[in-house]
Amino acid sequence: MIALIAAAILTLGGLAGLVMRLRLPDDAPPSERALYSAGPLLLWWVAALLVPAPNEPINPIVKGALLLGMQLAILAVALWQSGLLPSYVAYALLIITYTLYASALAAAPASRTTLWALLLLIPAALLAYWLRNSLAELWWSALIFALALGLAFWHAFSWVTAAPTQPSAWLALLGVGLLAITHLGQAAVAFRSWRVDWNKAILPLFGLGHVALVWMLWLLVLPVG
């Protein structure tokens, strides 16, 4: 019970930090931007770390892969916001992150691959067609990134279809879905001159996606999971 309360406090603290990040001026020092961007993720990582061993043990890959992926996500965000290294380093770390998330979701209880997940190929094909002339030499790196994130979404979607009454499955789908929306918006702005100020939405969506994944892990060990 104490761990659950602590996780809730850490979650709220991370959300407060995210609000503070959004209130920073555009000319804030890179170190300050990195602190208020990666700090909330660190608090949520600790909240996930506090998840106790359940009465009926779940596959340890679920928690282990999620924690390791979040560590890489923290590093990616810190590097991206600080400008210490080129942005492609952050995206390379996120490829590993999303591959780990896919592994965690594939190992989740009641997760089963379903043919309904093949429907995800339709929007993926439409997106590839939309961006085909804009990516140029970035095509292959974008494809690898999309495959890693798509695999995580595939397993989350399969989990929901296999166990639609599990709240944890829906939180997994919500979390990965928010991450996907984050990067789809980035792609639309960067490659298709989408006239939307998406930059202010990136960190909130990215952060809320991770909050959903952290509480997916908690619900797996609670009676309602």
The mean of the pLDDT values for the chain is 81
The terminus-to-terminus CA distance of the chain in angstroms comes to 16
Distance in angstroms (rounded) separating the CA atoms of residues 162 and 110: 7
Proportion of the chain above pLDDT 90, given as a percent: 34
- Residue 128 class from Cβ within 10 Å (0-12 exposed, 13-18 middle, 19+ buried)? middle
pLDDT tens figures, 133-172: 555 555 566 677 778 888 888 889 888 888 888 899 999 9
State the average pLDDT over residues 78-107: 87
pLDDT tens figures, 196-215: 555 677 888 899 999 999 99
CA atoms within 13 A on the CB side of 81: 26
H helices present in the chain, as ranges? 2-22, 30-49, 60-82, 87-106, 121-135, 139-162, 167-192, 199-221
Distance in angstroms (rounded) separating the CA atoms of residues 159 and 91: 26
For residues 131-145, one letter each, b for 16 or more C-beta atoms within 10 angstroms of the residue's C-beta and e for the rest, the string is beeebeeeeeebeeb
Alpha-carbon dihedral 132, 136, 141, 142, rounded to 10 degrees:
-30
State the average pLDDT over residues 88-93: 85
Q: What value does the CA radius of gyration of the chain take, rounded to a whole number of Å?
A: 17
Residue 48 pLDDT level (bands cut at 50, 70, 90): very high
